[in-house]
Amino acid sequence: MSWKNTEDHYGLVSIKLHWLMVVLMIFIFASIEGRVFFEKGTDMRDLFKTIHFMLGLLVFTLVCVRLYLRCVQITPKITPPLSAMQAWGAKMAHLMLYFFMIAMPIFGWFVLSAKGKVIPFFGLELPALIAYDKPFGKILEGWHKEIGSWGYYLIGFHALAALMHHYIQKDNTLTRMLPVKKKN
């Protein structure tokens, strides 16, 4: 399998990044949802929040790499081709996913900055993006949570669309992003 995308299939780098980000998104959502099992102010609750912050920033970093690759490589064709309306819908869905994966970590960084909290990133402490303003931080946090809840639907729609393409439309939308099995 090639490292680069071909006309018919995503390359190994694109595939590995895609599925790594799926796993990261699962852990991001699980860590923020799982924090509620621990009392406020406990080390475990803080650990879950720290994991959420760091993985969110890691997604931001990786999505920048994915966008770069998307700009410098070809996008494999869907066979049979989509209708114009489906192609437009797919582009809009991907645009929203990329926007979500860029905006949410930056939004979270703004929240931590406004609340005067440390912005952890795997042993580093990132600088604040805005000055301390706790009331504004609470507002930003509310928006971050609301937009984050929409992320469940966006990601679910993406997965459902891939399955629909595979099982109902019977095109190669999903299989383009799966590793190619080695032939014996």
Residue 183 pLDDT > 70: no
Task: Name the band, by pLDDT with cuts 50, 70 and 90, for residue 1.
Answer: confident
Are the CB atoms for 14 and 66 separated by under 8 Å? yes
Q: Taking the domains of the chain in order of start, what are their residue ranges?
A: 12-175
Residue-level pLDDT at 2 = 86
Residue 182 pLDDT > 80: no
The model's pLDDT over 23-67, given as tens digits with 9 standing for 90+, comes to 999 999 999 999 999 999 999 999 999 999 999 999 999 999 999
- Tell me the whole-structure pTM to 2 decimals: 0.91
Mean pLDDT of all residues belonging to the chain: 95
Q: How many residues does the chain have?
A: 184
The model's pLDDT over 102-118, given as tens digits with 9 standing for 90+, comes to 999 999 999 999 999 99
The model's pLDDT over 115-132, given as tens digits with 9 standing for 90+, comes to 999 999 999 999 999 999
160: Cβ contacts below 8 Å, ≥ 6 apart: none
Residue 143 pLDDT > 80: yes
Six token digits for residue 2: 């090639």
- Per DSSP, helices labelled H in the chain are 12-34, 43-72, 84-114, 134-164
- Give the mean model confidence (pLDDT) for residues 1-24: 94
Residue 181 pLDDT > 80: no
Residue-level pLDDT at 167 = 97
Residue 184 pLDDT > 70: no
